[in-house]
Structure formats: structure tokens, C-alpha cells
Structure 1
Amino acid sequence: MIGKSLVLLFAFAAIASADTRFNFIHYHDGTTTEYSTDTLPQILTHPSFRRTGETVAFHYGAGQNLGSAEVSDIINSYISNERYNLIVIHYFNMEVISTDNAVSLSDVLATTFTRLFDTGYNSGFMNFVGHALGAQILARTSRLIQNRANFRHVIGRLTGLDPASMGPVATIQIGRLTSADAQFVETIHTDGTLNGDHLSFGHVSFFPNGGENQPFCTNTIPTIRANCNTVFSLTMWAESVRATSQIFPSLQCDTWPRYTAGVCNNNHIAHLGRITDNNLRGTYFLRTNNAPPFNRETPFP
């Protein structure tokens, strides 16, 4: 009887220690399974989880939730592409995603994913995909994982979808996404007015339509226009996830004016999106269509 009581006590303590701000939703077979920060390693025993397959862990940005149109687009696009294990970091209250909480959130995420890797999942198969502040939180998470494990666990791929500009104090506290945060780091920059941070560079960085203002984001209110800019990175990524071949051809170039002037027309062509070359390095520019599908067949201005 005492032994059974101790088991129940330990089980209760494990449940009580789980972070109540968010959980992890595993999308599979037309349904979902939810895990807490304590139980995520149990996903390895799920019959639909491919232990030798790539896993996408998606973190949406501040002010978003599962019902946000662009977030739903990302989730549904990955569901339609059955190649990946899909985990979404789900916040019960979207106000929790803030620069004030980013340090503690990344600390808990790093602890949780480290336990997953210690349980037997290869960190090299993990693709962290984060939008806006979510990109900066995952970048810090990835950094903490490799530092705490003395580089025994290093995230395979980190995708920053318009990484957020956080202000000088928060940037010091949280850190800024860099190419050192994973084996391969890519960034897509779609806003350079209020929300986006053009100094958060990956091994390769893409600047659709110059990365400052998207031509179809024309609202005269700066905050609304900036939000339109930044969520376009989600729309582009979702379109690339659904694609069966490489899309969004881009030219390596150092500035948008040089790209638009045709100076870079003889430079290397790369493709933004899910299907890309992990050996890519440098800065790339591209134009998109102004309506779906946004993929434009030519990389030239």
C-alpha cells in the first residue's frame, strides 16, 4: 500500500511540475495527440511517430494562436505533406508569447527537447520552424540545447520566418538568431519597417520583394501594414511545404537595388522554402506574384 502511494505521489509530482503555459500537439492520421513538457518524450512510442524521420516543431508568433489564418495554413500544409512528424507548440493564452517571457519559455523548451533527445531521438532530424518572436525563442532554445549538452545535441535545421525585432534590452536578454544556432539556419525577411529584424541572419537569408515592404501590403496604418508584411513569411513557407518541387527561385545578391537593376542576373540561383539546399550560404533576393500562388517562375527582376 505504501509503495502504491509513493507511485501515485511521484506521478502527481510529475504532472504538477509540467509547465502550464503551453503544450505540444502532435498531428497525425487525421487526429492529434497532446503532450506536456513532462510527457513529450513519450511521443517516441507513438505508432505514428517516425523515429528516423524529420520532425518539424513549429512555434507561432506573438498575438497568434491555432486559429490564426496563417498558422492554420502552415499546419494544414504540413498535414498534407506526410513526410514529416509535426509538433506544434501550443499556448493556452497567446499573451504569454512576449519578450518578457521569452527567456523562461526558451529555458523550458530547451529542457523538454533535451529530454526528448536524451530518450533517443536524433536532434539532427529536428527542424525548428519559428515565426517572428517564435523564431527568436526557438533560436535561443536551440542555443541552450547545444550548450547544455556540450554540443552532443545540435538541432539539424532552424527556420526563422521573419525573425522579430525585439528592441535593444530584449535582444541582449534573449539573444539574436544567428547561423551558430543549428547545423543549418535559414531566415526569410518580409518586414523591415516595425516587426522584422534584418540583423538576424542565418547561413542563408532570403529577402522577398526586398524584405522591407511587400507590394500588396498597402494599408496606410503602419502597424497593420507591418503585420501584413511579417505574416507573408508564413504564407510563403506554407506554399513551399505544399509544393512537390523547388519553388521561389532567388538570386544571390548583396542589395535589393543591385538585384532590381539586374546587376546580379548572372549570380547563383537558389530556392526559398522547404525543399532547399542545406549547403546554401549568403543573401538572396526574389520577387513574388502579388496574389496566390505567390511563386514566380523566374528569379530575375
Structure 2
Amino acid sequence: MWQYLGIALLISVQINKAQTCDSFKPLTILHTLVGSNVRVRLLLYTRIDGDCGALLSHTNLSAHPQFNVSRPTVFVIHGFRPTGSPPAWLNKIRELLLARSNINLVIVDWNHGAGTINYWTAVENTHKVANNITAFINLIQDHGGNLSSIHLIGVSLGAHISGFVGANFKGKIGRITGLDAAGPEFTGSSPEKRLDPTDAQFVDVLHTDMDSLGFRETLGHIDFYANGGADQPNCPKTIFSGESYFKCDHQRSVNLFMDTINGTCSSRAYPCLSYEDFQDGKCLNCDSFGMLGCPLFGYDSIKWKDYLPQPSLSNYYFSTNGESPYCKTNFKVDIIVWNTETKMGYITVKLYGDDEEAVATIKHKRPEFRKFKETALVAGFDRPISSLKNVSLMFHTGKVLQPKHKLRILRVRLTPLEPVEKPLCRYDVLLEENKEVRFKPVPCGDATF
């Protein structure tokens, strides 16, 4: 009998929990076609009950004892939702943020306002959403909360909403993270009409789709441009791929940021005039701060707040893999040849360890290899090698109908961009086109060329 009573009690608890838990509300296609009035729902998640959202009151914070104003508060604000569906990344970012820090996590559900096929209507609604969030943050302040402990993470239109909220508090919000802030209707606008560096004490921005849905110019104290800020690896290149063609680059910003939250996959970013210069190894000097001048992109970038110019004088570039884990292992590759004639071609480098290998194909351009002139390139490997045993090189011109070429290498030097290991070299290597040559590298000697 007691066993059955226990089961009944457990079922009752589960039913009550299901009745009290709330979540992001999807809309029907009718809603998105006709449109709906703005309605902002604030969903609180904490470590106590990370999978159960509590719908917050906009007027009575005391009704939610699980909201602790002494803890940091993070708001996650989505963007345009033309189908009215919940963002695919919402549950994952919630789990990662709660696992990383003991915070009040507030998911801002403004699907009523963002869920419409009319993008311009959604843009108009952003100020109403910002005013709603502003009123709630005022409520936090009334209960003793500190503006410096608030972090707004805004995606697309959500990035500009974050900026409007920050402006309402005259830049006293602790941090705003803009993930591929929306470009259409905001490009060319004045700072008060979009996200800008004065909106928070620290504004970090990621660009992944600046040639389409995202914003091209700088918006924050520090602006990261992943893979140049436009086309992301493994994203479709033609419209025949369907809706993924339109949203893959844009949505990649959230995926890249999520990969950094637990601290296991962060990419070092380098100040540079262009992504091409970064790929050519021209921007690897991290100035007088040492590696502190080259921040890690993502969740931990705020650690560089006091080491970088405010606002930044440069764009910060890094490259990624096409899927998670997105972070690459980067080396600078310097090659000196002794061919009499100038050769042009691509280089593929492989690293070999114990039952593991990593590959990097340097293909952003066909570099020129001239006698006794050092050619520098950045090689981004798809994974780290714990114990490097061997290296291989392959030279290829990309031309099928021409005679095969040879590249006579006087010295190749591989320098890890993370200053953990010393550079490795190999001297006197002959590469025949399209043939992989494998060798054991050695610590670089004192000889210069």
C-alpha cells in the first residue's frame, strides 16, 4: 500500500511541476502571416531547476524567491522568427550557461513581435521589447541588484535590443554580447539607433554573415570576425540548399559562442586590417601585452577588457572548423625555397601523432615561392595533436593539364601560435607536385637564411 502511495505522490509532483513550468511558446503559421502584438515573456532558469522555466512577473520580483539579486543575471534575447518556431539553439545555450556559472538566466521570449513574415514589423518592435526589459531591470535594481552584474546576450535583432536596453541605463550594464547583429535596416544608422560601444561597460560582437543578414562594421569595444565575417565553412554556397542557405552563416554565430562557454574550445583572435592579411601571417604580433593583446573569442573575452584599446582600433580575426568543436590549432608556416624560377601553388600540411592526425590545406590563395624569400602562411589544423611525431607536406598547383612541378624547400618552419612549444623545422625537402612527403621535424637551429 505504501508503495502505491509513494508512486501516486511522485506522479502528483511531476504533474504539478509540469503545470508550473513554462517555456518558449511557438506560434502557428497563421500568427506569422497575420502578425501579432508585442508580448514579452521572461522565463527564469536557475541551477536549482535548470529544465523548468518560471514565468517572471514584470511587477513583483518578490513572487520569485528563486531569483537571487546577489547572483549575476544573464538575459538571452533571440532575433527575427519568421516561422514562429523556438530557436534551435535555445535549450543548449541554457544548459551551457547554467553549467558554467551560478546565475539567474532569463530567456526573453518575444516571439509575439518577432514571429512574423514582415521583417520590418519585427524591427519596429525591438524598441518595445527593449523598454520591457528595461522596466524589469529597474525592478532588479529596486531589490538591490547591481547593473554591473548584468550580461545581455543578443542574437541578430536581439543584439540591437540589448543595445537599446544598455542605452537606457547610460552604458552602466556590465556586458553586452552581440551575436551577428542584424544588418538590414541598421546598416548606416547612427549609434543611438543600433548597438554601439557606449551601451555597456564591455561590448563584444561576433560577425559571421556580414554580407547578408549581419552587420559589417564594428559595433563594440571588440569585434570578432570569424573566417573573415562572411562565409562560414560547411555552410551552403547556393540557393538550391533551401532555407539553410539563408540562415546557416547567420546562425553559426550562436554555435561558435556556445562552443566557448564551457571553456574547452576557444579560438585566439588576432588584430588585423583584413582576414587575408591574417591568413598570410602578417598579423600575429600581439603587441606589448604579449598574448594578452590577442584575446580569446567567446564567453571569456571579457578577461581582455582591461588590456585592449576601448573601443578597439582593430578588427579581430580567427578561423574555425565547419562543425563543433569549431576551434582550430593554428601554426605559422614559413617556407624558403631555392628554386631558380618562381613557383605558385598550394600547400597541404599534416601533423601526425600516436594514432592521430590533423590536416590543414592553405588554399585562400596561390602564394608565390621565390628563391631565398620567406613565404609566411597560417595553417589552421582541424584538431590538436597531443604528441607530434611527424609532419608531411604536399605541393599542388591546381592545374591539371600542365607539367608537374617541383618545389625545392631549403627550410620549412612550423611555429605554434599558442606559445606552448618551440618552433619545429625541416631542412632540404624536395616536393613533387601532388605527392605527400613525410618527415620527422626537429627543433629549429640557429642557422638563418
Give the alignment's TM-score, normalised by structure 1. Answer: 0.81
Distance in 1 (CA, whole Å) between partners of 2:187 and 2:237 is 30
Indicate yes or no: 2:180 matched with 1:155. Answer: no
Distance in 1 (CA, whole Å) between partners of 2:95 and 2:110 is 18
Structure 1: which 5+ residue stretches go unaligned? 1-18
Distance in 1 (CA, whole Å) between partners of 2:219 and 2:168 is 18
Deviation at 1:260, TM superposition (A): 1.1
Q: Which residue of 2 aligns with 1:32?
A: 53
Q: Which residue of 2 aligns with 1:208?
A: 226
SS at match of 2:209: coil
- Contact kept, 8 Å, 1:210 with 1:286, in 2: the verdict is yes
- Contact kept, 8 Å, 2:236 with 2:244, in 1: the verdict is no
Deviation at 1:223, TM superposition (A): 6.6
Larger Rg: 2
Q: Which residue of 1 aligns with 2:330?
A: 298
- Contact kept, 8 Å, 1:163 with 1:200, in 2: the verdict is no
Q: How does 1:1-301 map to 2 (within 5 A)?
A: 21-28=39-46, 29-30=48-49, 31-39=52-60, 41-42=61-62, 46-47=65-66, 49-63=67-81, 67-93=86-112, 94-95=114-115, 98-146=122-170, 154-167=172-185, 171=189, 175-221=193-239, 224-243=244-263, 247-267=266-286, 268-276=293-301, 277=303, 278-279=305-306, 280-281=308-309, 282=312, 283-298=315-330, 301=378
Distance in 2 (CA, whole Å) between partners of 1:35 and 1:76 is 19
Higher mean C-alpha deviation, range 182-191 or range 219-228: 219-228
- Contact kept, 8 Å, 1:136 with 1:174, in 2: the verdict is no
Distance in 1 (CA, whole Å) between partners of 2:212 and 2:320 is 21
Letter in 2 for 1:109: I
SS at match of 1:129: strand
Decide which structure has greater helix share.
1
Distance in 2 (CA, whole Å) between partners of 1:69 and 1:157 is 24
Aligned length: 273
SS at match of 2:43: strand
Which string of whole-angstrom CA distances, capped at 9 and with x for unpartnered residues, describes residues 196-247 of structure 1? 1122421011011000111211241297434101111100111111225x71
Letter in 2 for 1:85: N
Q: Which residue of 1 aligns with 2:384?
A: none
Higher mean C-alpha deviation, range 80-89 or range 128-137: 80-89
Which string of whole-angstrom CA distances, capped at 9 and with x for unpartnered residues, describes residues 60-109 of structure 1? 11117773222232122213324322111013534268102112222222
CA shift in 2, pair 1:32/1:108, >3 Å? closer
Letter in 1 for 2:204: E
Q: Which residue of 2 aligns with 1:14?
A: none
Distance in 2 (CA, whole Å) between partners of 1:169 and 1:77 is 32
Give the alignment's TM-score, normalised by structure 2. Answer: 0.56
Distance in 1 (CA, whole Å) between partners of 2:99 and 2:247 is 26
Distance in 2 (CA, whole Å) between partners of 1:232 and 1:23 is 25
Letter in 1 for 2:300: I
Deviation at 1:168, TM superposition (A): 5.6
Decide which structure has greater strand share.
2
Distance in 2 (CA, whole Å) between partners of 1:172 and 1:103 is 15
- Contact kept, 8 Å, 1:27 with 1:85, in 2: the verdict is yes
Letter in 2 for 1:87: V
CA shift in 2, pair 1:36/1:166, >3 Å? farther
SS at match of 2:269: strand
Which string of whole-angstrom CA distances, capped at 9 and with x for unpartnered residues, describes residues 110-141 of structure 1? 22222322331001000000000011011111
CA shift in 2, pair 1:72/1:171, >3 Å? farther
Distance in 1 (CA, whole Å) between partners of 2:181 and 2:187 is 16
Higher relative contact order (CA 8 A, sep 6+): 1
Q: Percent of aligned pairs with the same residue? A: 23
Distance in 2 (CA, whole Å) between partners of 1:262 and 1:104 is 46
Letter in 2 for 1:291: E
Higher mean C-alpha deviation, range 172-181 or range 124-133: 172-181
Structure 2: which 5+ residue stretches go unaligned? 1-36, 287-292, 333-377, 379-449
CA shift in 2, pair 1:140/1:299, >3 Å? farther
SS at match of 1:99: helix
CA shift in 2, pair 1:170/1:137, >3 Å? farther
Distance in 2 (CA, whole Å) between partners of 1:51 and 1:260 is 45
- Contact kept, 8 Å, 2:40 with 2:129, in 1: the verdict is no
CA shift in 2, pair 1:92/1:218, >3 Å? closer
Letter in 2 for 1:129: I
CA RMSD of aligned residues (A): 2.7
- Contact kept, 8 Å, 1:128 with 1:157, in 2: the verdict is yes
